[in-house]
Amino acid sequence: MPSLRDLQKKLLADILERNQHAAYLNHSDRINAYGDGYYRRFRGVLQNYFTIVRWYMGDGPFAEALARYIPSYPPSHPNINFYGDDFSTFLQDHHFDPVLIDIAKTQTILHHAHLQAPQKAFDLATVANQPLESWFHAKLTFQPSMTLFTTSYPIHILYNAYAQKDPPPASVPQKTMHYVTHRQGSSIFFEAFERIEYDLLIDFLAKHSLGQVLSTYEDQNIAEKLFEYFHKWQTYQLITGISFP
């Protein structure tokens, strides 16, 4: 008698191959009830996940890409909602248009930012009376959904075009972008940031104190700008806390 494990390995293989003549099964001609479902389910998840990739690619090429992705990337996560996290890697490995790879990466980052708990934004006014010297050791905490990422193309332009229901542009100029995600109510947006501002956020995220950050950027006269940035980050609800050890 075959072990349960052997039967499970055989059944999954037969489902994927749509083998209608498996001798260990009754009604093996119905195997497609599972086989069709397998591909339909994952196509559905990816269509919902990669709306903008699909818009940019067109329905036909997108369907073709899924038909290649699904057999080559067996789902490894117990939650089907994460199927698609490897899609940008797949596009990269198969030398798809680099714009598509950037869109897929962006969609994946936003997908994950959505999963983070919203936290109350910090009110800078509450620390207005902190003694000046204590600011040197101040450290910032940020909205858990805040994600910093770079792309080689201005993806936000494509997002805007998609939102306007425009057709995808014929070409997209290459340009290195530094993006930061931010939360507005129940939505996650991403914004292009200046390189220096982006780098500052990375340093603060790495738990560098205000003093350390100021010394890192000593020659760039950052102190004044930093004040401006703090207020901007506050309006984006990025800062959730400032600690003064």
Partner 1 sequence: MIFTSDNTNKLGHGLGLRSPHIDYILATKPMVDWFEVVTENYMHTRGNSFQKLMSVRKDYPIAIHGVSLSIGSTDEFDQNYLQTWKNFIDLIEPVMVSDHLCWTHVNAHHSHDLLPLPYTEEVIKHIVDRIDAVQNHIARPILLENASTYISFKESDLTEWTFISEIAQRSGCGILLDINNIFVNAHNHQFDPIEYIHGIDPHKIGYFHLAGHFDKGTYLFDTHGDRMAEQAWQLYEKTVQHTGLKPTLIEWDNDIPSFDTLMDERSIAIQRGQHAIA
Give the Cα separation of 229 and 100 in Å (integer).
31
- The neighbouring-strand residues paired with 151 are 177
Spatial contact of 143 and 121, defined as CB atoms under 8 Å apart? yes
For partner 1, the closer CB: 34 or 159: 34
Phi/psi for 35 (5° steps) reads -65, -45
For partner 1, the closer CB: 118 or 211: 118
For partner 1, the closer CB: 78 or 173: 78
> Minimum Å distance from CB 163 to partner 1?
19
The contacts of residue 223 (CB under 8 Å, 6+ apart) are 214
> Minimum Å distance from CB 172 to partner 1?
30
For partner 1, the closer CB: 27 or 95: 27
> Minimum Å distance from CB 167 to partner 1?
28
* Token duo for residue 3: 């072990």
> Minimum Å distance from CB 72 to partner 1?
12
Phi/psi for 191 (5° steps) reads -130, 140
> Minimum Å distance from CB 29 to partner 1?
8
Question: Count of CB atoms within 10 A of residue 14's CB?
Answer: 19
For partner 1, the closer CB: 28 or 216: 28
Spatial contact of 108 and 190, defined as CB atoms under 8 Å apart? no
**84 alpha-carbon distance from chain centroid:** 11
Spatial contact of 179 and 156, defined as CB atoms under 8 Å apart? yes
- Is the alpha carbon torsion for 135, 138, 144, 145 positive or negative? positive
> Minimum Å distance from CB 66 to partner 1?
15
Contact residues: partner 1, CB under 8 A: 1-5, 7-9, 11-12, 15, 23-31, 33-34, 37-38, 41-42, 74-83, 114-118, 145, 186
- The neighbouring-strand residues paired with 46 are none
> Minimum Å distance from CB 37 to partner 1?
6
For partner 1, the closer CB: 23 or 128: 23
For partner 1, the closer CB: 46 or 222: 46
Give the Cα separation of 232 and 214 in Å (integer).
18
